[in-house]
Each structure stands twice: as structure tokens, then as C-alpha cells.
Amino acid sequence: MISAYTVDQLRSAERAALVDDRDDAVMRRAAYAVAAVALRMLPRPVPGRRVVLLVGPGNNGGDALYAGAVLRRRGADVLAVLADPERAHAGGLAAFQRRGGKLIDATDAMTAAVSALTRADLIIDGLLGLGARPPLRPTMARLVLAANAAPAPVLAIDLPSGIDPDGHRAAEPASEGNGATPGAEPQSGPESEPVAVDAASTITFGAPSTGLLLAPQTGRLEIADLGLAPDQRVLPDAIALDDIDVAFHRPRLGRDSDKYSSGVVGIVAGSAKYPGAALLCVGAAVSLRPGLVRYAGPQAAAVVQRWPEVVASDDPVDAGRVQAWVAGPGMGTDGPALRRLNVVLGADVPVLIDADGLTMLAHNPALLVRRERRSHAPVVLTPHAGEFARLWPELDLGDRLTACRAAARQSDAVVLLKGDRTVIAAPDGRAAVNLTGTPWLASAGTGDVLAGVIGSLLAAGNTPGGTLDAFTAAVVGAHIHGRAGQRAAAAGKVGAPALWEYLSAAG
Ligand SMILES: NC(=O)C1=CN([C@@H]2O[C@H](COP(=O)(O)OP(=O)(O)OC[C@H]3O[C@@H](n4cnc5c(N)ncnc54)[C@H](OP(=O)(O)O)[C@@H]3O)[C@@H](O)[C@H]2O)[C@@H](O)CC1
Ligand SMILES: [K+]
């Protein structure tokens, strides 16, 4: 599990570790870790390869310069582009120059800096670290645009420069840019460039800041343990799971399990208008191999034809016992749909509401209030940004994690806000970021699949031996769904049904 912290939390842990940091010892260790990743990223042979360091005014620039000195020793041709020469880290600069590193002052040689970036084999971003307060000022913004436009991969130190370390504001995705030409004067004014380095990899020290998990610009995340992470008494601001955590949490069928010890999930999805949503959601639930899937809705015949093992009925009232309900995908918002939603919300088991179910909740906020009176079992809400805005119009989606946390608290539900980096928050303040997102999952029907996946996990968590709480089920489900999407993308598959085959193995 990756634990991410606020800048304040990281700074206080670092202060404790740095009391005795003479001769930049910690910074040199950080720089070795940076150089090790850089050496992995550089084409072979290393001697003569062109590395460009982007060097800012703080210790992040110091890390870059010391790393540059190590790379010089391995024979790389290293050029440091200084964004703020007067304030470049003195110790790092001396070490770099002793090894024969070359310097460019970006404030008066921008054209040379841009042309060096264009020819680089690897770019190392040491402009800003934990001290960053975006948006970037013009010189840095111009360098970042040039680095993003260059063919070489970028290795970001501590974080991609331009992102908000605490994750409260998003930088422009590189693909959208802002139409600016690399190296040209940014057009929207000196203090307003919401651009960020688009890193192939980011190496951070001890533990990442929350913004690093939230920013799609982070790329592959590497964590070098320099003894700087907050100790275990400090509650992380957010967490992210990796494949090993997910394998650990994933429910397994016991040898003598009956259906109720593996989890029975009920699905209310699909309608005459959207029959596919029923199949997508049920197919996903089945792929996770719960004890049993029950379907309750107007597509019962089609569902059973495709999955004879599913027990289907027309209405949740007649469905039989379940250990978790999913309601919403493609179910419509008419009278019968509202009645089915009401039945599900009345059940004393965990309930996941998605899609049309969320639309009905937005129109009838009293439904959730009534649920609280009827059951203490958890509710999971899985909106995309549009649905989120309809449910909580007062919350600012520019700060996704804070908004998601507030929504979870207000609604006393686990809220999963879909996106490139899906965020999940629990009413008790726990929060997570999913790192397995892929643009492949932006296609139609993938949300129906996610609902089925999490529904199965909720049911498994509500078995006598179940250990998954609703928050963890949502986090694990998002991870499994993302991995399946990545595998479907890698295999060149098209369409949400392709996810089924990868779900049983993913993550
Ligand atoms: N501490 C440790 O344990 C270790 C720390 N390590 C490293 O140190 C890094 C933290 O270093 P740091 O504190 O010097 O901050 P950092 O981000 O390099 O520079 C801040 C400067 O940037 C400037 N600036 C801010 N926003 C800006 C903007 N939008 N546009 C332009 N400029 C902007 C701001 O300038 P000002 O606003 O003051 O003019 C300020 O002076 C950390 O991330 C890690 O890499 C490692 O060595 C391992 C050990
Ligand atoms: K950086």
C-alpha cells in the first residue's frame, strides 16, 4: 500500500530526519536514487547520452544537480538548464561543475535551452518539489512546455513541476496543453500557467505527497526510502493500493464454502431502453466469482440466457436473500425504476447506487435520509463528474479529493468519483486514489462493469468471514477494474464486454 501525505505532514517528518544533515548527505542519497532511475531510463551505452537537467531555485534543483554529477561520472553528457541561476543550490552546482557538467542560464538563453531539450535522450525535472506553489512562473512554464514537446522521456524528481503537491488544484493535462508553443512566451499572463511536466516516471523520497497520486502527469511512481517518511502514527492523507494489496484483499472461495459464505450479490440494472447495462453489470459480477448473482429487473430472460447460473426475477421484492445490492446502471428513472430503487435502499445490506440510481437520488434526496433510518449497512455511490455535480452542486470539482471527502461525509456514504484518477472517500475521512486508470475505460458501459465488480466485493465483505469493508471494497474494485481495462487495452480489445475476461485474473 502506498500512503500519501500532505506537504505539512511530509515537512514535519523531514524536519525530524534532517536535524543532522551535514554536507547535504540526505540530498546526495536522494540524488543517487534519482541517478539510478535515470540510468535505467537511458538507452545503452550510457557514455555520450545527452541528459538535460531542469534546475529550479530550491532543494529540488539541488537533487537534480547532484544526480547530474553522478551521471557525469557514468560518462553521460549532462547539461543543467538553470531557471533561476542566482538561487541554484550552491553545493549541488559545485559538485556538478567539478564533474564537468555544462550550464545554461534559461533566463537569457531560452532558445539554446529549448534546442537542448529537443535533442536530449533524457530530461530530469528538478524545477520544483515540495515547495511548489503553482501555477508556474513564465521561465519555468516555457521550459516545461518545451520538455513536454521534446521526444525524450522526463524523469521528475519528487513531483512533476507544475502540479499542486497537495492536489487541491489540477494542472492542464499535457495533451490539451494550452496551445502554447514550446519556449514561447506563455499567453495567459505571468502568474497563470496551469501546465505541468508530463513525466514518464517520478521518483519521490520516503512517501509521496497526495498531489502526486492525483496527478495523471506523475507517470510511473518510484519511491526511494531515505528514512524520511512519516512514522506509522501519522494517518495518511490518502492511500493507493498496489497489485499485492489487492491480491490479498480479493475474496477467495473456501473449499467448503456455500453460496452465502462467498457472497450473494443482487443486481438491479437494465431496462427495455438499455438492455446492455444489465448484461454488463451482471457479467462483471459473475466474473468476480461470488457465491451467487441474483438479477432483479426487466431483462431477466436475456440475463439467464447469457448466464444460466444467475438466478433472475423481475423485481427485487421477489429476488430472495442477497448480501449486497447494486442498483442503477441503465435501470431508467421512471416510476417502476424508482420503486425498485426504494426496495433496494430498504434492504439491511450494503447497497451500491450508480448511474440512473444516482439521477433518482439527485431528484429525491430524501431517499438517502430514509435509508439511514432503515439500515446502518453502508451505501456506496459511484458518480462520474456530471452525476457528482448534480448530487452536490455546491462542491468544487476543481479539488476532487476534497470534494469527494465532503460528499462522503455529507451523505454518510462511501463516494467513488470516477475519473482518470478515480478517488474514493469514506464518511470517516479515509480517502484513496486509484492508480490503474486508463483512457480505454472512458468508453460506454465500463461504469456498469465497475458497479458489478464492487457489488460482488461488497457481498463478499458481508459474509460471516468477510473482512472487506465498503470503502476497501470500492478501492479494490476500482483497482481490479482499472487493471482489467489496461489488459484489454494492451490486447487491442474494443468494448466494455472485453473486461469480463480480464476481471477474474486482474490485480
Ligand atoms: N527536505 C528534505 O528532507 C529533502 C528534500 N529534498 C528535495 O527538496 C525538495 C524541497 O525543497 P525546497 O523546500 O527547497 O522546495 P523546492 O520545491 O525545491 O523549491 C521551492 C522554491 O521554488 C519557488 N517556487 C515555488 N512555486 C513556484 C512557482 N510556481 N514558479 C516558480 N517558482 C516557484 C519558491 O520561490 P519563491 O516563491 O520563494 O520565490 C521556492 O523558493 C523536495 O521536493 C526534494 O526534491 C531531497 O533532497 C531529499 C531531502
Ligand atoms: K520536480
Report the pocket of ligand 1 as residue ranges, CB < 6 Å. 14, 18, 26-27, 30, 56-60, 63, 128-137, 140, 157-158, 205, 228
CA 288 to chain centre: 22
Which protein residue's CA is at the shortest distance from atom 2 of ligand 1?
14
User: What average pLDDT does this structure show over 411-433?
Assistant: 97
Distance CA 230, CA 232 (A): 7
Strands (E), 56-212: 77-82, 102-105, 122-126, 154-157, 201-205
Burial (Cβ within 10 Å: 0-12, 13-18, ≥19) of residue 439 = exposed
The CATH number linked to 150 is 3.40.50.10260
Q: Which of 186-190, 199-203, 249-253, 468-472 has the lowest mean pLDDT?
A: 186-190
Q: What is the mean pLDDT of residues 155-176?
A: 86
Domain containing 91 equals 2-237
Closest ligand 1 atom, CA of 134?
29
User: How confident is the model at residue 357, as a pLDDT?
Assistant: 98
Summarize pLDDT for 261-305 with one digit per residue, the tens.
889 999 999 999 999 999 999 999 999 989 999 999 999 999 999
- Residue 181 has what pLDDT? 54
Question: In this prediction, what percent of the chain has a pLDDT beyond 70?
Answer: 94
Kindly state whether residues 215 and 248 are assigned to the same domain: no
Burial profile 351-380: b = 16 or more Cβ within 10 angstroms, e = fewer: bbbbbbbbbbbbeeeebbeebeeebebbbb
* 127 Cα: distance to centroid of ligand 2 (angstroms): 5
Q: Is the pLDDT of residue 468 over 70?
A: yes
Residues 183 and 68 both lie in one domain = yes
In this structure, the answer to whether residues 287 and 432 fall within a common structural domain is yes
Average pLDDT over residues 110-136: 97
Q: Before 378, cis peptide (omega within 30)?
A: no
- Same domain for 222 and 268, yes or no, is no
Residues 275, 215, single domain; the answer is no
Mean pLDDT, to the nearest integer, of 425-441? 96
Please give the pLDDT value at position 189: 45
Same domain flag for 227 and 363:
no
Cell numbers 556538478: residue: 96
The ligand that comes nearest to the alpha carbon of residue 130 is: 1
CA of 241 to the centre of ligand 2 (A): 24
Residue ending a domain, choose from 237, 261, 278: 237
Give the end of a domain, one of 203, 237, 271.
237
pLDDT class of 174 with cuts at 50, 70, 90: low
Could you tell me if 225 and 262 lie in one domain?
A: no
Separation between Cα atoms, residue 265 and residue 484, nearest integer Å = 21
Please, what's the largest Cα pairwise distance for the chain?
79
**Mean pLDDT score of the chain, rounded to an integer?**
93
Q: Does residue 45 have a cis bond before it (omega within 30 degrees)? A: yes
Domain boundary among 198, 219, 237: 237
419/348 same-domain check: yes
Looking at the structure, do residues 415 and 447 belong to the same domain, yes or no?
A: yes
Tens of pLDDT, residues 21-69: 678 889 999 999 999 999 999 999 999 999 999 999 999 999 999 999 9
Q: What stretches of 55-164 show up as alpha helix (H) in DSSP?
A: 59-73, 90-98, 110-119, 138-149
Q: How many CB atoms are closer than 10 A to CB 459?
A: 35
| Residues 10 and 39 both lie in one domain | yes
Same domain for 263 and 187, yes or no, is no
> Residue range 319-332: average pLDDT?
97
| Structure confidence at residue 14 as a pLDDT band (50, 70, 90) | confident
Q: Is the pLDDT of residue 255 over 90?
A: no
Give the chain's length. 507
482 pLDDT above the threshold of 80: yes
Q: Which of 7, 21, 32, 128 to mutate to test the pocket of ligand 1 (most atoms within 8 A of CB)?
A: 128
Edge to edge, what strands does the sheet with 379-381 contain?
2-4, 238-240, 431-433, 423-425, 414-417, 379-381, 351-353, 324-327, 264-268, 292-296, 311-313
Q: Is 383 a residue whose pLDDT tops 70?
A: yes
The angle subtended at Cα 149 by Cα 145 and Cα 154, nearest 5°, is 85
What are the residues whose beta carbon lies below 5 Å from ligand 2 (ion)? 125, 156-157, 161
Q: What average pLDDT does range 141-168 have in this prediction?
A: 97
CATH of the domain at 309: 3.40.1190.20
332 neighbors 274 (Cβ within 8 angstroms): yes
- For residues 228 and 153, membership in a common domain is answered with yes
Could you report the predicted ipTM of this complex, rounded to two decimals? Answer: 0.98
pLDDT digits (tens, 9 = 90+) for 230-242: 988 899 999 999 9
Give the count of domains, the chain.
2
Asked if residues 196 and 134 have their Cβ atoms less than 8 Å apart, the reply is: yes
Residue 139 has pLDDT above 70, yes or no: yes
pLDDT(409) > 80: yes
Return d(Cα 16, Cα 119) in angstroms, integer. 41
Q: What is the pLDDT of residue 242?
A: 94
Ligand 1, atom nearest to 137 Cα? 30
